[in-house]
Structure 1
Amino acid sequence: MSIPRLHADGPLAEGAEIALTPAQAHHIGTVMRRAPGAELRAFNAVDGEFAAELTALRKDRGAMRLGAQLRAPSPEPELRALVAALKREAMDWAVEKATELGATLIQPVLTRRCVADRSNTQRLAGIARAAAEQCERLSVPVIGESRPLHAVLDAWDGAPLLVAAERRDAPPLHALLSGTHAPCGFLVGPEGGFDRAELDDLARRPFVTLATLGPRILRAETALVAGLGAISFSLDAHR
């Protein structure tokens, strides 16, 4: 039986008593059917991962006591995932998979052809947290508030930003990855694609490189996963 992993804001140290969030208590007790005395794991990016024991559980409350450290904190490449706001189900799935692929920031952006005008940041943060618990990473990505594309670009710090640009004369993504380094970002547009003015604006930005993901037109969430997977693999290989 797998040992549940729980993200805790910390600080984490051997012997510390850590309260579970209501969502964690519900999941451990109702979904996973654990009882006091059960073995757990507690983790965060600052302190690493610790063995833990469930010491109390009642409805939406619980606590765990930390044992020995199992993993020391380890830096991750900074990989920023930018995606046009999608409908709820697609956005939830995109956040889950982006977390699994190592995104450190997930930023919903608002474009002219977006099918949604905002994203529920609190719900998406919960999805990211649960995905991090499942995939054994130590950190949980930051979920940004939905912002207009031009505002995100205007505030960008100059890190390389690869952009999935369908129907545009651009090199394939895989051909651009040998020189890619962290921090970097990857941007995917809405289901209807970027409009011409948005693509022209992107092309003028010195930190932007347009790329294609192949001959097929992909759904936005599929494009995000395909691109992040390739970039994440390349960043890990060059660490």
Structure 2
Amino acid sequence: MQDAPRLYLDLPLSPEGEGVVLNADQMRYLATVLRLQNGDILHVFNEEAGEWEAQLEIHRKDRGQAVLRTRVRPPEETSGPVLVFAPLKRDATDLVLRMGTEMGVTRFCPVITERTNTHRINADRFRAIAIEAAEQCERLDIPHIDPLRSLTQLLDEWDDQIPLFAALERQECPDVARVVGNHALLVGPEGGFSESERRLLSAQKAIIPISLGKRILRADTAVVAGLARLAFYVSQSI
């Protein structure tokens, strides 16, 4: 039996028997894309209410509701890193958001560096991608997405008590035995950080350089490799 589809709803989800109204886009997705029928089961969720089994009521093609039946998972907060990254070309940025959400990133901080290719982001699109990834990976919460700012501004505002692990290629990096508490990963743009940015990073108290191996990785690959490495460091601390 196929698992019930999951739908993130930014609405109160309670009590049992309550009908939660679905908007036209959600109904088109459920009825047209997923081909759900009246009475089919789906799961609805958010970070405050947890996850509920619900029954779909279709009133017409673009109108309907999810009738809550029983809560199957209580609320739970994702424990994971912050990701500071330079936006890439559209498909690569989409991939960073999807994979970061799946790997437990709690907050995305897009930054402008000297070699960043784009100086604008679509925050609504970023959130939509994160929601879709959360629905797929059975996560209950949606990562927060910061507004775009310069790398310099982010470093000026950064809490020095939160280690910021910087993925730096071609640099000797100290061994990291473990990671405890709040932490973050910084990945630069395609082409890496400029020499002036490297000097800036080296002067920051919170920065801890980490190596991702001998090869030069694409920026989106570096995000996955860096998050996996930090997850390993965290596992060593448990």
Q: TM-score, normalised by structure 2?
A: 0.92
Pairing 1:161–2:160 present: no
1:17 maps to which residue?
19
User: Structure 2 CA distance, aligned partners of 1:21 and 1:232?
Assistant: 37
2:35 maps to which residue?
33
Question: Structure 1 residue 234: deviation in Å?
Answer: 4.0
2:146 to 141, 144, 147: 144
Can you list the C-alpha shifts for 1:52-102, whole angstroms capped at 9, x where unaligned?
111135444432111111111223214111110111110011100100000
Moved more, 94-103 or 9-18: 9-18
Question: Aligned letter for 1:130?
Answer: E
User: Structure 2 CA distance, aligned partners of 1:3 and 1:136?
Assistant: 11
2:66 maps to which residue?
64
Moved more, 186-195 or 27-36: 27-36
Moved more, 113-122 or 207-216: 113-122
SS in 2 for 1:200: helix
2:54 maps to which residue?
52
User: Structure 1 CA distance, aligned partners of 2:223 and 2:102?
Assistant: 12
Question: Aligned letter for 1:226?
Answer: A
Residues 114-193 of structure 1 mapped to structure 2, 5 A cutoff: 114-158=116-160, 159-171=162-174, 175-176=175-176, 178-193=177-192
Task: Structure 1: give runs of 5+ residues left out of the alignment.
Answer: none
SS in 2 for 1:127: helix
Pairing 1:194–2:193 present: yes
User: Structure 1 CA distance, aligned partners of 2:121 and 2:235?
Assistant: 30
User: Structure 2 CA distance, aligned partners of 1:127 and 1:192?
Assistant: 25
Moved more, 69-78 or 155-164: 69-78
- The answer to whether the 8 Å contact 1:25/1:57 transfers is no
How many percent identity over aligned positions? 40
Pairing 1:99–2:101 present: yes
Moved more, 16-25 or 106-115: 16-25
User: Structure 1 CA distance, aligned partners of 2:233 and 2:40?
Assistant: 38
Change (3 A) 1:27 1:120: same
Task: Structure 2: give runs of 5+ residues left out of the alignment.
Answer: none
- The answer to whether the 8 Å contact 1:162/1:210 transfers is yes
Moved more, 189-198 or 48-57: 48-57
1:209 maps to which residue?
208
SS in 2 for 1:179: coil
Moved more, 229-238 or 206-215: 229-238
Question: Structure 1 residue 233: deviation in Å?
Answer: 4.6
